[in-house]
A and B are shown apart, each in its own frame.
Chain A
């Protein structure tokens, strides 16, 4: 399997996750989207030194994964490339912000370190939540939800086609790399002298494929917008669940749970 094929497989792997039947998958797409957006906004809004306050926010994605029957580790596996990048975001903070603001035992901890960790957690939590949405909702469902709130159909169709064409492009890359390596055995990667023609061919071929696929859609009645059927088996109580979660999220934002637990212990 070459790299492009592996990438296709990963994409289809996510597609496959969306076909699991779990309480999380059964929530209506719109409520899931609203929930995710509010979760992300809330998480990002924590103050940069509010490390203890933000920690309980991890509970929401973790519980979400439990209900979706998808192991949390899947998220980290699939996002293994992005996660470290997100973690790099605050890496310079400790060098700029050296004022000690708290002590662990007798060791002083600078504001920079705290804000770095907070920033990393924010990134990781948001990625976890977004992946949960993507893994439990198909692209079609997301588009249907967007259509429902009167997002222009042309935009949602464009979004869906883009998602589809990623795999078309990858398939062409996979076919071409295979063909290349069959006639250039023992070579690692594609030789630089072939890059120009390889890329040029790739563009022509994916444009041809895209055109052919588009024609094939036209021949079957596609008229520029894709209409998605409402899935009937979506949970009627989605919005109740979503609103309860939203209330809990906002509660966690304004009520410092670790501090409260700490004060109980004293």
Chain B
């Protein structure tokens, strides 16, 4: 279970981005985090891992985020960064994938086996021995997700996991997210994906929670979405006007 109480986050330059956020995510829930550009989605996810100075209380399974628990919490929580370039730092994909598990005391051979399974599951086994800097944008994205999946976290925070993916890889990713039974918070502008993967949605604007409720309710509320710089998911918007036959 994840719990945030009166969370306020401040960047090093003094910019306060999140104001007094409170919410709770039950174990096994998949929550979509939506909001316009600059709303504070990435900031919220980073704050939850102690990467940004915060006030208020954040806790995972009752463990409060503080210096003492930081290592334990980071072991428990997998975080897919918005920018995959920043996620991958080893020369090859496989090196990156075993980095985490090996740090947590798993033998390299076992970690490699796990990594291979994950790549297989994601349908990107071909990337295993590729050099990170020679991957395409979408390949890098898939590889970044794979590095986190290999760590088998109990909780996953994903920042724009479907950005840059082709329809096929996006579908693969959605299927996998739906199968893995861990608690997830997915920040995304891909509202159709949010609708398919999450039963609950938190809408933020300007660092404040504007709405928190059932995904189908919030994502079908045209006025609410438009007021906060978003639009209805494509699957709900119907055929666009310019494509409608004029008869």
Contacts and interface: CB of A to CB of B under 8 A. Distances in A.
Interface of A: 8, 12, 15, 164, 167-168, 171, 209, 212-213, 215-223, 227, 229
Nearest to A213: B89
A167 B102 contact: no
Nearest to B89: A213
Interface stretch (B80-88, B173-181, B211-219, B224-232): B80-88
A220 B103 contact: yes
Nearest to A211: B86
A199 B102 CA distance: 37
Contacts of A213: 86, 89
Given A219-B77, A223-B71, A227-B102, 12 more contacts: A15-B91, A209-B85, A215-B86, A216-B81, A218-B74, A219-B49, A219-B79, A220-B103, A220-B147, A221-B75, A221-B103, A223-B103
Main secondary structure of the interface of A (DSSP, over half): helix
Contacts of A218: 74
Interface in B81-122: 81, 83, 85-87, 89, 91, 99-100, 102-104, 107-108
24 contacts: A8-B133, A12-B91, A12-B133, A15-B91, A167-B133, A209-B86, A212-B81, A212-B83, A212-B86, A213-B86, A213-B89, A215-B51, A216-B81, A217-B99, A218-B74, A219-B49, A219-B77, A220-B74, A221-B71, A221-B104, A223-B71, A227-B102, A227-B103, A229-B107
Contacts of B7: none
A118 to B, nearest CB: 39
Given A8-B133, A171-B133, A221 B74 contact: yes
Nearest to A218: B74
A229 B89 contact: no
B131 interface: yes
Interface string B126-145: 00000101000000000000
Nearest to B74: A219
B133 to A, nearest CB: 7
B86 A220 contact: no
Nearest to B104: A221
A227 B100 CA distance: 12
* Residue from B49, B51, B86 whose CB has the most chain A CB atoms within 10 Å: B86
B158 interface: no
A216 B87 contact: yes
Contacts of B85: 171, 209
Contacts of A167: 133
Given A164-B89, A229-B108, A221 B133 contact: no
B91 A216 contact: no
Given A12-B91, A209-B86, A213-B89, A222 B133 contact: no
Contacts of B75: 221
Contact of A216 (B86, B102, B107, B108): B86
B201 interface: no
Nearest to B103: A221
